[in-house]
Amino acid sequence: MRKIVSSLMAFMIISVLIPISSVFAANDFSGGLLDGKTLLTGASYDYFERSTLRLTDNNESTGEWFYPVGGTLSFASYTLSGPATITGIKINSTANFSVSFFNSSNVEIYKSTISQSDGTLVPVNVTGVSKVGFTNISQTGQTVNEFNVYGAIDAIPSTPLNLAATAGNSQVFLSWDSVQGATSYKVKRSLTQNGSYSLISSANSGTSYTDNSVTNGVKYFYVVSAFNSLGESFNSNEASATPTAPVTPPSFNRALLVITLVNGLENEYDLSMTEVNKFINWYNGRAEGTGSEVYAFNKTFNLANFLSRKDYIAFSKIETFEVSEYSVVTP
């Protein structure tokens, strides 16, 4: 009786010590897009006879037998819930298998022979994948125990954040945060806050845009949306800017303006640069046929009892003039 009890205890201890990995997958196939999914098997990627869960159950002790190409069961595939970006492949098989990816039009966009058939992750980078599958490319029947692909189902991009608008001279510079999964951005503009936006750019793949079709002094309002093959995001926050021409700071320098008349006489005036520029603008305008025929200089010296003294110079009497600018030194 003791011998029987001892034998039973020894058997129980041995049973407890059997590693779990001998029952379940030695390699972890979980975390993929095919976890627990039902794969279709048949004579091609478009003709199926059976379905199976034995290839996606994360258990390498189960599997399916696949004939060489031409047999009734040579292919297996699964159609994803939406376009995906595939970044890795794992397969456990008794030989090399060819893995293929298809887009939403059922066009093959990726094909590769996977030589790491022991469950090693094979890195890839394929976008727009709607269907995945594999086929036996050997000359004899082979077994596949596990198959999975890794990545993420593509989605409509999220809303761009932190749109900012910076005004310039006859332009507005826009910038925003990058959105994962976006292939382009749409830039929209309005003349009223939260108004009806007009599309001004739809092929912008970067995260900045310069609007050069603006008028100085007019306030513009902007939003941006992200776009990919699945659709368009909501509009971003609104940003506004008013383009403005650069302001030339006033000059505190002075100048001697010497006007030579057609009769050879010279008139000399000590003026601020603001007054000199005002005279030059009048002269240029008169040369183009606009403005008054004469220009008046106010004299601020030797007024005596006079309220004002002015020199009037006729445009037609001016031969040349000279400007000699100098700095005013403050004591």
- Profile the chain (331 residues) by mean pLDDT over runs of 10 residues: 45 39 62 95 92 93 91 92 90 92 94 84 92 93 94 89 94 94 94 94 90 95 92 95 77 87 91 90 87 87 75 91 83 54
Tokens representing 298 are: 């106010």
Task: Decide yes or no: CATH 3.40.50.720 for domain 164-241.
Answer: no
Radius of gyration, alpha carbons of the chain: 41
CA distance 128 to 227: 14
- For residue 117, what are its two tokens? 């058939």
Give the pLDDT score at 148.
Answer: 96
Rounded to an integer, what distance in angstroms lies between the CA atom of residue 111 and that of residue 98?
Answer: 7
Please give the Cα distance from 271 to 324 (Å, whole number).
10
Q: Give the CA distances from residue 162 to residues 144, 157, 202, 212, in Å, rounded to whole numbers and listed in that order.
A: 49, 15, 19, 21
Secondary structure (3-state) at 282:
helix
Q: In this predicted structure, what is the pLDDT of residue 22?
A: 36
Which tokens in the block code for residue 286? 């008169």
Distance CA 48, CA 139 (A): 21
pTM listed for this prediction: 0.48
Q: pLDDT value at position 247?
A: 63
Determine the Cα–Cα distance for residues 10 and 208; give it in Å rounded to an integer.
73
Q: Which residue has the tokens 């008794």?
A: 94
Please state the separation of Cα 278 from the chain's center in Å: 49
CA separation for the pair 34, 36 (Å, rounded) = 6
Cβ distance 154 to 181 under 8 Å? yes
Q: Rounded CA gap, 203 and 175, in Å?
A: 15
CA 57 – CA 151 distance, rounded (Å): 18
CATH 3.40.50.2000 given to domain 16-153: no
Does residue 108 contact residue 102 with C-beta atoms inside 8 Å? yes
Rounded to whole angstroms, the Cα distance separating 85 from 76 reads 20
Would you say 138 and 69 are in contact if contact means Cβ atoms under 8 Å apart? no
- The residue behind tokens 């749409």 is 186
Give the Cα-Cα-Cα angle 152, 207, 202 (nearest 5 degrees): 85
**Partners of 97 in beta bridges:** 114, 136
> Hey, what long-range contacts does 196-202 have (CB within 8 A, 24 or more apart)?
197/221, 197/223, 197/235, 202/227
Q: Is 276 helix (H, G, I), strand (E, B) or coil?
A: helix
Domain boundaries, given as residue ranges, for the chain: 16-153, 164-241, 254-326
Which residue is listed with tokens 């399916």?
Answer: 64
